[in-house]
Every structure is written in C-alpha cells, then in structure tokens.
C-alpha cells in the first residue's frame, strides 16, 4: 500500500504508519480504577498488531467525571503506576502510547459518582435523565487545573501524546455545543464563550507540558441535533484551539442524543465521517485523524490517498482483529477478520458489563481460548458449516486433529448466508470467507452437498463427532400456512430476483424487521405483524434506533400486540389484543417467528457409543456470537 504504511510526524513524534487505535473503553479496568495484568495485555496485543499509535481509553480527570465503575482514572497520583504499565507495554510492543483525558459532565449518574452530576447548564442528559447542577465559575477553573494535572500524570506515566476528549456529549463537548450550553456568562452564549472552557484546558495543558509535547483534541464536528455543532462551527472552534496549542484533531460526531454517530451500526456506510474530516483538513493547518467505521485497510488507504485525513482511527477493527495492520502490511488481506459493525460490543457493555466481540470470541478470553496442540490427534467429524461448525472445525484442525466438515448445502455459512443477503449486512460475508480461509489453512477436509445420516457417520468412523446442524425457520401452525404466497425468511433473503409486492411479514423481531427493511428497500410495501409490545426488541439499542428510523422512512407499517389468525390466498387475517380481526391484503407473506433446532442426529449417534457434542443452534436458537464462542470452546476441548 502506497500511503497507509508511510511514516508521519506530529510535533516531532514519529509514527511508523498512519493507523491509530483511538481511545476505546475496554471495561477491563477494575471498579476502583486499578489496572491489572489483563488490562495491560489487552493493550500489548493491540500494539503488537502493528498500529502506529495506541491510545489509552478515556481517563477521568476528576471523581465526579467518571461515567462507569470500570472507567480508567487519572485524578490522583496513585493511578500513575498502573497507567505506566500500559504505556510500557505499548512501547515494548513497538507502538506509540497515547492517552485520552476526559470528564463525563452530565453523562453519568449519581449511582456511579455518588452525587448529582455537574455540567455547564442544568439540562439533563437525554439518555440518562435526572437532576444536573450547573458548574460555578470557580468550579470550571478548578476543572481546567484538573485537566492540567491529568496531562502531567500521563506524561509521567510514559505516554507520548495526550488527547483531550471534546466530543460525544461529554463535559467539554457540553460546553462547546448550544444543544447543551445555555449559560449567559463568559462560558456560554456566543461561540467564543462556549469555546472558552476548551481553550483554557488546551492552554493549561500546553503550559504544563511545554512547547514540544504532542497534543490532540477529539471533537464531534457534527452533532445531528437542533442547536448542536455543525462542521462549519466546529472548524471555527478548532482554529481557536489550534492557536491555543493543539497539534492534531480527531474528527468524530454525535452526542448523548445521537449515539448512532458515535458507534455507527451496520446500517451506516463505512467511513461515514470521512468527508467531515476532509472539510476540517481543508480548513486547518494541523493534521487530521478520521474515525467512523473504517474497518478495512483498503478503505483506510483510500482515505489517506484522497487527502481526506492524515491518519485513520480503527477502534472496533482492532478489537475484531488486533493483527489487522500487520496482515495488511504483509498483503494478507484475506486473513483479516473485519469488524462488521454489529455493535455486539456495545450491547454486551450494557448487558454484562464488559465488551464481547461477535467475530472475535478471544477478546477478553485470550488465555482461556489460546490454541494449544492436542495431546493426541484424533479424527473429528463436524456436521454443519454454520458459524459454530466453522469455528469448531478450524480450531480443532489448528490443534492437530484430522477434521472432516460435512454440510448438506452446496456452500458453507448456514444462516449467515441469508443473514448477509441484505445490503446493510453484506459484511457478514467476511465471516464466511474468513472462516473458509482459516479452515483451508488448517487443513479441514470439506464434504459439501452431503446430508449426514447415521450410516454416513459409521462409514467415516470418526473418533469424535461435533454436531453443529443449526436450526431451520419455525413455521406457525395456522390455517393456510401452505399457501403459495407464504415463504420463510431465509428463502426471501436468498432470492435475489424478488419483484416488489404487497407483503406481510409475520414476526417483528430482529429478523422480521430486517426482512421488512430489505423488502421495502426493493420496492415492496410491507406490513409487520408482531405479537409483543415492541418490535426488534432483541437488537442492540443503537442498531435498533437506526433500523426503526429506516423502516419509518420506507413507509413500513408495524402492528404490535397483534397475532396471526389464518392465511388466505390473497392476504392474512390477524387479530389485535382486543380480539378484533383485520384482513391484510398480501401478494407475499414472509414468516420470521424464529427458528427450531435440528436435533435429529444426536440421539442416533449417542446410541452408537461415539463421543459426540452439540454446539450452536442445534441445542437451541442463539446468537451468532454465542455459536462462534461455543465452536471455539468445543474445538479446544476435544
């Protein structure tokens, strides 16, 4: 690649290439803010992957600025030793250590900080709510000093660049934006007043660090809310901050009311903020970092080549595959496991309090899922080439087992195949191609177009059988289900030549709503019928928000608390929660009420006395993330 792997210098700091891992919460910090070896190893692995600079996740400059119990802290000298361990690990692995300093402002809660949140104005956080106390002038000036103290500690800990977090609806952004700052004193009102807090922080940090230390500022150049920042306004802010002492800017977007612009879901195009970065770069004389769904080295190369940015930030991309930069530099593009923007990482934070990655189950489980040679290589038969079967097969083969993979379809992928049929989920195909490459590299032997029976199992005489037979679409037991207008969701997803038609989708879960979006994008008029009170309830909140917006803009009708009664040749009869029936005319009826496990082989093989395991949907329907993790674990167990 001509541009991506060329060096770049920021105020004397030499970066070996143009790839930066931005500050990304790991949730691997202990609840008291302490750093453990697991935290250090997380950063060491990302640094060893070949990125030029690794930015330590947002570190709180003040106790009331903490947004999570597992946020890193830098408001006391006692935190320096732990942070120094991270800086040293990043340096030893060949990357430049950087650190982001941060204050949450109103975007926290009393449960976390033990008091009422503080902010520029008494406006509650749109997502958290609750009472907010406005900061006094004295408190603001005290916080400026806190940022300066934090910068000094970061330098003491060994970090070579410091970034001020001025984006994403946190405190500095709250001052900058008319959406969150309604003060009428010198820290509000005009753009100059709203910029004053950020400018004073930059000036204080620059004073503390001296003229030669590299300083970055992260901004939400666009907030996508009424009264919020626009690119034009942000450029004026950045001109002021550049004069005050910043050396580089990371151009992000969004705030606490528009999180879809902070952690963009798969419905949003890749590099969706690159044009905003380009506008900033044209207006400023300092380097610019682009961020936002840059998950592919070819895309990153194009951004640099086209002059849209000087550096590219890959956060989730390096969670998915820490070795992405090294693989790209060596030309091993087909070995890169790309982030698919499923936002499983975000969902897992809120559900279980730590990050998990759908495509990379090893994240946070590096020791547990380390691949080690088998004590005794055996002949292994894997039945089913969905996500669980693929992962089990190549994991077992990597350990030295002779692995035979059987699949009744002509291709691998299982439900990932219909799952990647829509335009917004095309990147799921990468999971299939990556798995195929890993299996071939590990020596897995394929047997496609084979429906496995007990006799076939006997003929091949494996020592171990792994059943990953997956699931099939569930069909409701209602009158008319056999009508010609009825089709399960996988058939509709896989049919690339479906004409537009009046369509009713039965089932408004994630799959049903995605099917409705897919069909409406192709010109169909769609009605979704859902028994529950909420559509797409299983989806991660940001992804769901964007999907619901797209369904509304496409005119998709969603009928909640409604059940199917019967299907006629020309439509569907449904009943609402009062029992009243309605007829919905339809030329096509899609069924998306879930899946049922394929369990047929398990008992037969168990009776044959063979060692047999089940993974994935054949046990019960589960997410692709769970299926892949189970596949990894069983591949390591046998």
Domain borders along the chain are 8-352, 379-471+597-637, 486-593
Looking up tokens 């044209």 gives: 282
Closest CA to 322 of 338, 311, 307: 338
Name the region of 269 (left: φ>0; alpha: ψ -120 to 50; beta: rest).
Answer: beta
Query: How far apart, in Å, are the Cα atoms of 138 and each of 102, 135, 142, 187, 194?
Result: 19, 8, 6, 12, 16
Q: Where are the beta strands (DSSP E) in 235-388?
A: 248-253, 288-290, 311-313, 379-383
Bridge partners for 559 per DSSP: 529
Instruction: In whole angstroms, give the CA distance from residue 530 to residue 592.
Output: 10
Q: What are phi and psi of 342, to 5 degrees?
A: -75, -15
- Residues with pLDDT less than 50, the chain: none
Query: What pLDDT is attached to residue 223?
Result: 98
Closest CA to 265 of 544, 602, 572: 544
CATH superfamily of 486-593: FAD/NAD(P)-binding domain (3.50.50.60)
**b/e burial code for range 43-60 (CB count within 10 A of at least 16 → b):** bbbbbbbbbbbbbbbbbb
Instruction: In whole angstroms, give the CA distance from residue 488 to residue 481.
Output: 10
- 407 touches 387 (CB < 8 A): no
Query: What pLDDT is attached to residue 599?
Result: 83
Cα 558 versus chain centre, distance? 27
Sheet architecture: strand order including 525-529: 486-488, 588-591, 502-506, 525-529, 557-559
**Catalytic hit among 170, 187, 517, 613:** 170
Looking up tokens 């940001």 gives: 542
Structural fold of domain 8-352: TIM Barrel (3.20.20)
pTM of the shown model = 0.93
Per the annotation, the verdict on 170 as an active-site residue is yes
Instruction: In whole angstroms, give the CA distance from residue 120 to residue 142.
Output: 14
**Is it true that 8-352 and 486-593 share their CATH fold?**
no
Q: Where are the beta strands (DSSP E) in 65-194?
A: 72-73, 96-102, 118-119, 133-134, 161-166
Bridge partners for 487 per DSSP: 590
Torsion sign over Cα 232, 233, 234, 240: positive
SS3 state of residue 440: helix
Instruction: In whole angstroms, give the CA distance from residue 332 to residue 346.
Output: 29
Query: What pLDDT is attached to residue 349?
Result: 83
Domain 379-471+597-637 has CATH 3.40.50.720: yes
Residues 6+ apart with CB under 8 A from 615: 388, 389, 392, 466, 467, 468, 627, 630, 631, 634
Instruction: In whole angstroms, give the CA distance from residue 103 to residue 105.
Output: 6
Torsion angle, alpha carbons of 558, 563, 565, 568, to 10 = 20
């Amino acid at each position: 690649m001509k541009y991506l792997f060329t060096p770049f210098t920021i105020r004397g700091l030499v970066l070996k290439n143009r790839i930066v891992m931005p500050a990304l919460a790991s949730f691997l910090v202990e609840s008291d803010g302490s750093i453990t070896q697991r935290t250090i190893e997380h950063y060491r692995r990302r640094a060893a992957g070949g990125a030029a600079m690794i930015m330590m996740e947002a570190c709180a400059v003040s106790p009331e600025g903490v947004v999570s119990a597992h946020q890193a802290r830098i408001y006391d000298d006692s935190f320096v030793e732990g942070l120094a361990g991270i800086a040293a690990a990043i340096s030893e692995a060949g990357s430049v250590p950087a650190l982001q300093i941060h204050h949450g402002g109103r975007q926290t809660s009393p449960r976390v900080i033990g008091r009422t949140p503080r902010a520029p104005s008494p406006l509650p956080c749109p997502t958290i709510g609750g009472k907010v106390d406005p900061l006094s002038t004295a408190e603001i000036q005290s916080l400026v000093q806190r940022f300066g103290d934090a910068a000094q500690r970061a330098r003491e800990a060994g970090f070579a660049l410091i970034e001020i977090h001025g984006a994403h609806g946190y405190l500095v952004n709250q001052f900058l934006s008319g959406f969150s700052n309604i003060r009428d004193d010198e820290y509000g009102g005009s753009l100059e007043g709203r910029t004053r807090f950020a400018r004073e922080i930059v000036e204080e940090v620059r004073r503390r660090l001296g003229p030669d230390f590299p300083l970055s500022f992260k901004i939400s150049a666009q907030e996508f809310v009424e009264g919020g920042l626009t690119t034009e306004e942000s450029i004026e802010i950045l001109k002021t901050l550049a004069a005050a002492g910043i050396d580089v800017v990371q151009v992000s977007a969004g705030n606490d009311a528009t999180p879809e612009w902070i952690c963009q879901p798969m419905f949003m195009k890749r590099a969706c903020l690159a044009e905003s970065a380009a506008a900033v770069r044209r207006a400023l004389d300092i380097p610019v970092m682009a961020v936002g769904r840059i998950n592919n080295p070819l895309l990153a190369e194009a951004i640099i080549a086209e002059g849209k940015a000087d550096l590219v930030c890959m956060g989730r991309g390096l969670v998915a595959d820490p070795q992405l930069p090294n693989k790209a530099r060596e030309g091993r593009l087909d070995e890169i496991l790309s982030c698919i923007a499923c936002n499983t990482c975000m969902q897992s934070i809120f559900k279980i309090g730590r990050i998990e990655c759908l495509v990379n189950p090893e994240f946070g489980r590096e020791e547990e899922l380390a691949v080690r040679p088998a004590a005794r290589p055996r002949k292994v038969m894997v039945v089913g080439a969905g996500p669980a079967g693929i992962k089990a097969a190549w994991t077992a083969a990597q350990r030295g087992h002779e692995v035979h993979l059987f699949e009744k379809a002509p291709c691998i992928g299982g439900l990932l195949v219909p799952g990647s049929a829509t335009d917004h989920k095309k990147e799921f195909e990468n999971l299939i191609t990556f798995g195929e490459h890993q299996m071939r590299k590990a020596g897995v032997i394929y047997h496609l177009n084979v429906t496995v029976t007990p006799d076939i199992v006997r003929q091949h005489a494996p020592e171990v059988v792994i059943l990953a037979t997956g699931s099939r679409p569930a069909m409701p037991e209602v009158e008319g289900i056999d009508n010609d207008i009825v089709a399960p969701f996988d058939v509709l997803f896989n049919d690339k030549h479906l004409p537009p038609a009046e369509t009713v989708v039965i089932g408004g879960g994630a799959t049903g709503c995605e099917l409705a979006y897919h069909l409406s994008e192709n010109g169909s008029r769609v009605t979704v019928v859902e028994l529950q009170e909420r559509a797409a309830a299983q989806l991660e909140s940001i992804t769901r928000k964007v999907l619901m917006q797209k369904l509304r803009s496409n005119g998709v009708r969603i009928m909640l608390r409604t059940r199917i009664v019967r299907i006629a040749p020309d439509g569907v009869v449904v009943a609402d929660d009062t029992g009243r029936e309605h007829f919905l005319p339809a030329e096509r009826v899609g069924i998306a009420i879930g899946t049922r496990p394929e369990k047929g082989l398990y008992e037969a093989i168990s009776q044959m006395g063979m060692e047999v395991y089940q993974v994935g949907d054949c046990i019960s329907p589960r997410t692709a993330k769970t299926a892949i993790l189970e596949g990894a674990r069983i591949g390591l167990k046998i």
